Structure 1
Amino acid sequence: MELMEQIWKKAQADKKRIVLPEAEEERNLQACGKIMENGLAKVVLVGSEKVIREKAAVLGVNLEGVEIQDPETSEKTAVYANEFYELRKKKGMTLEKADKIVRDPLYFGTMMVKLGDGDGLVSGAIHTTGDLLRPGLQIVKTAPGISVVSSTFIMNVPNSEYGDNGLLLFADCAVNPNPTAEELASIAISTAETAKTLCGMEPKVAMLSFSTMGSASHELVDKVTKATELAKSMRPDLDIDGELQLDAAIVKKVADLKAPNSKVAGKANVLVFPDLQAGNIGYKLVQRFAKAEAIGPVCQGFAKPINDLSRGCSADDIVNVVAVTAVQAQAQGK
């Protein structure tokens, strides 16, 4: 069974309430129809109810069973404004300003997730990653024990023996330009949890570098070594090892020579890159040269699931990200 098919089945088994704050946008409305048709989630559309219904009618999208929240008329707006004021008053927030801010659908939707009126949120078709992360970090914040929000790509490489029969997770490829050792440790732990939640795999996490187990000496290597030690101490139940070169991480023959005592070397299915340049280049190389399917970026590290879209996404892309977000919500609700 293909990975997305598995994720769809998980989403259908326990429908979660997923908020779409870009509901006045055409692709989001088309996606909403497909999500409801396939029973992937309970959809909450945030925006002008008049505009949403008019556009849905033009597109032929059936909104039966879909919840619509209009920040300009919703009874929840005053509640959200007060809660946002409480969250941000030490930063100089006023009630008047809070009331204005939460009328923005992205902030309104994020408040829904914060207060349990939604289980997750998907945005980014018409907003930047920064637009999404800002309210997420201000309102939902990071999960306990996690210091940073990050991203991962699920790479499905055809006809490959590496990872779990060609299935690997790459992180961080979209968010943190130059993570500290502490942040790198959090990224490793978050990605291991994503591997379990979305892929059902037992994560074997390789902390990548240009050195394997002390073969090179440099401050860049030191950061990865420290991150590995921190991640192991934070989560001794996970198989995390490093520092490892890419070949030592995934190729058994190389691992046997360079890291014979490692539980991860030669068997890694989660690859944690030392910085964003390496991660972004790495996933795109594999995507293009190996013709791999790249699912993501999947956001991770938030206390509740919030996911980003590419502004070039299709309606089908939105459907899949909603399914991913629903499965993340299931895992966080346990």
Structure 2
Amino acid sequence: MIRAASQMVEEGVADPVLIGDRDAVDATVTDLGLDFEPEVVDPDEIDTEAYAERLHEIRKRKGLTESEATDLVERDPNYLGSVMVDQGDADALLTGLTHHYPSALRPPLEVIGTAPDADNVAGVYMLTFKNRVIFCADTTVNTEPDAAVLAEIAEHVAALARRFNVEPRVAMLSYSNFGSVETEGTHKVAEAATRLRDDPTIDFEVDGEMQADTAVVEDILEDTYDFAELDGPANCLVFPNLEAGNIGYKLLQRLGGADAIGPMLTGMDEPVHVIQRGDEVKDIVNLAGVAVVDAQEDDA
């Protein structure tokens, strides 16, 4: 994380603020031979009272006491960082490198919450190949989404694609093609696609349920399923559950040779992204660049 912060400064990506023990951070900077002086927020050095009061105000009707709020902002950097973003003392939050994903996601969800037009958040990976870009969702958050959640995930990923100047063609994935197999699992995917197609506010191409190869192979769409409401191969893939999404994007990345940016967290009220454990410096810097764009768009 410290290497990534140094690279952000060097490349002019952002002004990173590191939350942690100042002495430990400074020692690591020296050990790594980095030529930069990081901005560090050390809970032992700053007055955390205002942050604790804000956290208590947000969570007091969820059972959080004043003393518990104080302990959280002093001991858990995810809560402190979330309140800093909530209060405008930081523009975005990147976390998760040394935490399990659910424990890193919980504090920003509790403090910052979802955007006014969102009920759920979703994790999206952008995979870049030699001749195409694919957005995969949900890869990190929703374990067993129902039809309504799948439809919202599709809206999130379509909006994200447009932020990258990609006109979305959304495929709702399953192991069935347009009713070829009828089970509870395929029904929910088909229902999600129907909800979207019947919604007059939806302004992107979407269809399903369909198999993955149907979604991405133009000949299959044009010949076997020429009735499909996609004008070309899908560039946004909505998986039926978290298990499929996480497996699918990792296979595409590792075996397909794709460069991956993410997971980008969509649906939050402020720019928040939860890094996967084990991500490399380039992954963190790429996600920081996404967070910067998020923050700039919010300020526009």
The two structures share one fold, judged by TM-score above 0.5: yes
Written as runs of structure 1 = structure 2, the 5 A alignment for 1:109-258 is 109-158=81-130, 165-197=131-163, 199-232=164-197, 233=199, 235-258=201-224
Q: Distance between the aligned counterparts of 1:53 and 1:276, measured in 2?
A: 39
Deviations 1:189-237 (A, max 9, x none): 111122122x321111111122333333222121012212334428412
Larger mean Cα displacement after TM superposition, 236-245 or 79-88: 236-245
Residue 11 (structure 1) aligns with: none
Unmatched 5+ stretches in structure 1? 1-27, 159-164
Q: Secondary structure at the match of 2:60?
A: helix
Unmatched 5+ stretches in structure 2? none
Instruction: Give, as a single letter, the amino acid of the residue that structure 1 aligns with 2:179.
Output: G
Question: 1:265 Cα shift?
Answer: 5.7
Does 2:41 match 1:53?
no
The change in CA–CA distance for 1:234 and 1:321 in structure 2 (over 3 A counts) is: farther
**How many aligned residue pairs are there?**
298
Question: 1:88 Cα shift?
Answer: 0.7
Instruction: Give, as a single letter, the amino acid of the residue that structure 2 aligns with 1:84.
Output: L
Written as runs of structure 1 = structure 2, the 5 A alignment for 1:67-146 is 67-75=39-47, 77-103=48-74, 104-146=76-118
Q: Secondary structure at the match of 1:155?
A: strand
Deviations 1:105-136 (A, max 9, x none): 22111111112211111112211111211101
The CA RMSD over aligned residues, in Å, is 2.0
The change in CA–CA distance for 1:234 and 1:47 in structure 2 (over 3 A counts) is: farther
CA contact (8 A) 1:249 1:265 kept: no
Q: Distance between the aligned counterparts of 2:105 and 2:297, measured in 1?
A: 21
Instruction: Give, as a single letter, the amino acid of the residue that structure 2 aligns with 1:142.
Output: T
Larger mean Cα displacement after TM superposition, 255-264 or 34-43: 255-264
Q: Once the two structures are aligned, what percentage of the paired residues are identical?
A: 38
Instruction: Give, as a single letter, the amino acid of the residue that structure 2 aligns with 1:328.
Output: D
Does 2:286 match 1:320?
yes
Question: 1:269 Cα shift?
Answer: 0.5
Residue 18 (structure 1) aligns with: none
Q: Secondary structure at the match of 1:42?
A: coil
Q: Distance between the aligned counterparts of 2:18 and 2:200, measured in 1?
A: 38
Deviations 1:264-307 (A, max 9, x none): 26431101011122222222332233222232222222111221
Q: Distance between the aligned counterparts of 1:283 and 1:211, measured in 2?
A: 19
